[in-house]
């Protein structure tokens, strides 16, 4: 196998995402070697993260020799914010952050939220794009808790571990139940069959 066929590139500037994926990758015993590529992608404003992911993937066409993928996630507060911030997650994190989000929902006892993610892969041998999706449901914590993870992790209580936020569990525990972990398992099963 040529060296280039052995490589798979994760196009991201987010080292936290890369680290989460590296943990899964190293345990999956794959023939591929994972590398981070921090190149500029174009992020459009669209209604779904799948549309955002597709555009992002196409925006780097021709710039990488080999198979590559991107990953796009969103955080949705279903009750009481009807899914906000969703596709605006990055902007909301940069502007009001977790503290600002909590202040928006301070008066509500009952909350529901989920993370969704889409991995969009350009698979070079077939010159085709493939998608893998993952989702995890939970609630919003009353306070910001924990020092692990990143982004909205300190305010998300997954239904399956309702006493701890994503920032209070290890990367391995998060990967077992998270949106990204689920999508990555689908991705890895696909890659193992190729």
Interface with ligand IMP by CB under 6 A: which residues? 14, 72-73, 75, 89-90, 93, 115, 149-153, 166, 178, 180
> Between 179-193 and 15-28, two packed helices, what is the crossing angle to 10 degrees?
50
User: Rg (Cα) of the chain, in Å, rounded?
Assistant: 17
Nearer to ligand IMP, 22 or 124 (CB): 22
Nearer to ligand IMP, 14 or 59 (CB): 14
Which residue is at the shortest CB distance from ligand IMP? 151
Minimum Å gap between C-beta 9 and ligand IMP is 17
CB within 8 Å of 59: residues ≥ 6 apart: 41, 42
CA distance 76 to 114: 5
CA distance 13 to 18: 8
Catalytic residue among 72, 106, 107, 159: 72
Contact call for residues 166 and 156 (beta carbons, < 8 A):
yes
Minimum Å gap between C-beta 39 and ligand IMP is 15
Minimum Å gap between C-beta 35 and ligand IMP is 18
Nearer to ligand IMP, 124 or 177 (CB): 177
Nearer to ligand IMP, 33 or 160 (CB): 160
Indicate if 72 belongs to the active site: yes
Minimum Å gap between C-beta 84 and ligand IMP is 13
Q: Which residue has the tokens 């010159």?
A: 127
Catalytic residues: 72
């Amino acid at each position: 196998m040529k060296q280039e066929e052995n490589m798979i590139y994760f196009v991201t500037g987010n080292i936290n995402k890369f680290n989460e994926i590296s943990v899964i990758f190293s345990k999956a015993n794959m023939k591929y070697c994972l590398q981070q590529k921090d190149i500029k992608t174009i992020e459009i404003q669209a209604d779904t993260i799948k549309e955002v992911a597709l555009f992002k993937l196409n925006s780097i066409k021709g710039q990488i020799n080999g198979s590559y993928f991107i990953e796009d996630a969103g955080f949705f507060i279903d009750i009481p914010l009807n899914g906000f911030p969703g596709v605006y997650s990055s902007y909301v994190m940069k502007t009001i952050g977790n503290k600002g989000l909590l202040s928006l929902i301070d008066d509500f006892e009952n909350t529901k939220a989920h993370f969704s993610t889409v991995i969009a892969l350009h698979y070079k041998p077939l010159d085709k794009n493939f998608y893998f999706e993952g989702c995890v449901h939970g609630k919003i914590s009353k306070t910001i808790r924990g020092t692990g993870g990143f982004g909205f992790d300190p305010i998300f209580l997954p239904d399956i571990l309702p006493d701890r936020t994503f920032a209070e569990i290890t990367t391995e525990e998060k990967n077992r139940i998270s949106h990204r972990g689920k999508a990555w398992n689908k991705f890895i099963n696909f890659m193992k069959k190729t």
